[in-house]
């Protein structure tokens, strides 16, 4: 498994886990299950995880593909600096968030999925990965150099000599060399 960037898989897993956590929470609250308070926490935690994980990180190698409309999320997540950039923090955060889910059946699946995501993030952090925002590149507009204002110093480039045809009999009076034949019938 040569060039694995674990964070990419951890990201997919945690996004799915967030959705499952939130869905389990909704079922628990709507069905008024015993322990619905844990379900309510599950909804909040699930939504938070989804928002945090939605913006994809820039890949270390290769082209990064953004998720649709992730730019505003990228900006928000980026604003937290090292808290969100570091994957150790994320791994610990997910581990902490998943624990309350284990106390109620509806959220137990979300708990386990988030726990697995936390482990994958831990692996990513150990491998030295970190989150990079995908920001649009602003290229400086192409500047025309100042030298365009001066007259040219060199004559325009000419094709190599073997393609220049000289009419042998008119060598002295020729004003210029024809690099290519200019008559139709030749």
Smallest distance from the beta carbon of 81 to another protein, in angstroms? 25
The answer to whether residue 22 forms part of the interface with another protein (CB under 8 A) is no
Smallest distance from the beta carbon of 109 to another protein, in angstroms? 6
The single residue among 29, 95, 116, 119 that binds another protein, judged by CB under 8 A, is: 116
* Per-residue DSSP letter, 165: B
Q: How far apart are CA 130 and CA 58, in angstroms?
A: 9
Q: How far apart are CA 8 and CA 62, in angstroms?
A: 12
Contact status, residue 101 vs residue 22, Cβ threshold 8 Å: no
- 3-class secondary-structure state, position 36: helix
Q: Which residues of 53-80 are buried (b: 16+ CB within 10 A; e: fewer)?
A: bbbbbebeeeeeeeeeeeeebbeebbee
Contact mark string toward another protein, 86..115, x via CB under 8 A:
------------------xxx-xx--xx--
Smallest distance from the beta carbon of 54 to another protein, in angstroms? 14
The single residue among 88, 96, 159, 165 that binds another protein, judged by CB under 8 A, is: 159
CB atoms within 10 A of CB 171: 9
The answer to whether residue 16 forms part of the interface with another protein (CB under 8 A) is yes
Lookup result for tokens 């994320």:
90
User: Residues in the chain, how many?
Assistant: 186
**Interface with another protein by CB under 8 A: which range of 54-62, 83-91, 127-135, 146-154?**
54-62
The answer to whether residue 155 forms part of the interface with another protein (CB under 8 A) is no
Contacting residues toward another protein, per CB under 8 A:
1-5, 8-9, 12-13, 16-17, 20, 23-24, 27-28, 31, 33-34, 56, 59, 62, 65, 104-106, 108-109, 112-113, 116, 159-160, 163
């Amino acid at each position: 498994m040569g060039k694995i960037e674990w964070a990419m898989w951890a990201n997919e897993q945690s996004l799915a886990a967030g959705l499952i956590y939130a869905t389990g929470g909704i079922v628990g609250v709507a069905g008024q299950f015993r322990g619905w308070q844990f379900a309510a926490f599950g909804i909040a935690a699930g939504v938070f995880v989804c928002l945090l994980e939605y913006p994809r990180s820039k890949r270390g190698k290769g082209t990064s593909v953004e998720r649709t409309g992730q730019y505003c999320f990228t900006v928000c997540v980026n604003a937290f600096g090292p808290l969100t950039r570091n994957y150790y923090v994320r791994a610990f955060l997910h581990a902490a968030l998943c624990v309350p889910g284990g106390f109620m059946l509806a959220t137990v699946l979300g708990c386990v999925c988030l726990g697995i995501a936390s482990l994958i993030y831990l692996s990513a952090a150990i491998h030295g990965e970190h989150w990079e925002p995908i920001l649009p590149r602003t290229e400086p507009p192409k500047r025309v150099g100042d030298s365009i204002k001066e007259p040219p110093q060199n004559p325009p480039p000419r094709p190599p000599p073997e393609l220049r045809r000289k009419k042998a009999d008119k060598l002295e009076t020729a004003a210029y060399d024809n690099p290519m034949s200019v008559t139709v019938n030749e």
